Amino acid sequence: MRTIIDGRAIAEKVYTELRGEIADLKSRGLTPGLAVVLVGDNPASRAYVRAKDKMCRELGLHSVKLELPATTKQEELLARVDKLNHDPAVHGVLVQSPPPPHIDEVAIIRALDPRKDVDGFHPLNVAKLAMGDNSGFVPCTPLGCLRLLRETNVSLSGANIVVLGRSMIVGKPMALLLMQKGVDATVTVVHSRTRNIGEVCRRADVIIAAIGQPHFVKADQVREGAVVIDVGINRVDDAGSERGYRLVGDVDFDSVVKKAGAITPVPGGVGPMTIAMLMANTVKACRMLNIL
Ligand code: NDP
């Protein structure tokens, strides 16, 4: 039997756990707070920021949504981040990516208080992940993928896992997380210079695709029974849809679903988990900042 991994249902499970933790924090007089800073008016970024704000409200978290014009200067943004770093009602801060081209994103990430860096992009948190130090923050999308695998009871110890993509947001932290002691997978990372990608993928017990190429992974690259996690969110033209486009993953779902033992759909797979893990990281930040 093939399993379609239901990211929405697993995210709901995470929210149920979080509601308990949030109630506990509130009983101690603490409300976890998340600040999301959006510079400019990229429609996709705007939609993500709206979704994060909505989820904070649903969970009863303190939510700060800061929308700044695309002309905002680097110094102004740094000053805003500094203010949020020092705001005791805010435990998590993120600046929605990508900022406009004149903004130095790396400098902004470095300016975040690493204890409030709930996206897990600050160098200190990257180092903690590499070192297996659980006091840091792990980027939300790979954390969500790991939770999906755990909830699906996929055996990871000693498994051959192929991660497609090596970005700092998904591929690289995903690989670090999977090779950690306690997870114990054998990880291969594929990127644009990798030779014989099909052959590499066919050896995998688990494939995690995060390359931003619609329908890149085809059935002939997947071993019968392998588990496939599709991180990709790509717009493809669709004259039949009201919006004129639809969202598809990096995996050719219709063909791969016939071979995979378990697979995530797009939408409804990894996407909902990313936001759930952001909420979980915010609650963790609140606990840690208050040493609970
Ligand atoms: P990036 O563009 O930052 O990285 C893409 C990676 O894929 C790079 O490492 C690149 O290799 C590699 N790559 C690109 N094309 C190929 C190819 N033809 N063959 C092999 N490797 C290739 O993307 P992100 O990591 O930010 O995002 C990846 C996808 O995941 C996107 O579709 C994005 O929308 C989605 N995403 C979804 C999220 C969610 O919540 N579900 C969250 C974040 C991202 P190289 O390094 O050599 O250039």
Residue nearest to atom 8 of ligand 1 (CA): 165
CA 2 to ligand 1 centroid distance, Å: 26
- Locate the ligand 1 atom nearest the alpha carbon of residue 212 and give its number: 32
Q: Is the pLDDT of residue 21 over 90?
A: yes
Active site residue 128: no
Mean pLDDT across the stretch 210-215?
Answer: 98
pLDDT, tens digit, 9 for 90 and up, residues 85-96: 999 999 999 999
- Locate the ligand 1 atom nearest the alpha carbon of residue 193 and give its number: 47
Active site residue 73: no
What pLDDT shows up at residue 47?
A: 94
CA 195 to ligand 1 centroid distance, Å: 17
The residue to mutate among 211, 218, 228, 236, having the most atoms of ligand 1 within 8 angstroms of its beta carbon, is: 211
CA atoms of 104 and 102, how far apart (whole Å): 7
pLDDT tier at 292, thresholds 50, 70, 90: confident
Question: Of these residues, 117, 119, 205, 230, which one is catalytic?
Answer: 119
pLDDT tier at 166, thresholds 50, 70, 90: very high
Sequence-ordered list of residues with C-beta below 8 angstroms from that of 197, at least 6 positions apart, any chain: 164, 190, 221
Closest CA to 219 of 253, 266, 172: 253
Closest CA to 141 of 270, 240, 28, 251: 270
Ligand 1 within 6 A of 166 CB?
Answer: yes
Residue 94 pairs in a beta bridge with 36
pLDDT tier at 108, thresholds 50, 70, 90: very high
CA 129 to ligand 1 centroid distance, Å: 20
Place of tokens 């085809």: 218
The secondary structure of residue 238, as a DSSP letter, is -
Ligand 1 within 6 A of 264 CB?
Answer: no
CA 34 to ligand 1 centroid distance, Å: 26
CA 282 to ligand 1 centroid distance, Å: 25
pLDDT, tens digit, 9 for 90 and up, residues 233-248: 999 999 999 999 999 9
pTM for the full model?
A: 0.98
- Locate the ligand 1 atom nearest the alpha carbon of residue 171 and give its number: 25
Question: Of these residues, 96, 113, 116, 128, which one is catalytic?
Answer: 96
Residue nearest to atom 5 of ligand 1 (CA): 211
CA atoms of 113 and 180, how far apart (whole Å): 25
Q: Which two tokens stand for residue 122?
A: 């600050």
Mean pLDDT across the stretch 208-237?
Answer: 98
Closest CA to 98 of 59, 134, 70: 70
- Expressed in angstroms, the distance from the first to the final Cα of the chain is 43
Ligand 1 within 6 A of 190 CB?
Answer: yes
pLDDT tier at 1, thresholds 50, 70, 90: low
Active site residue 119: yes
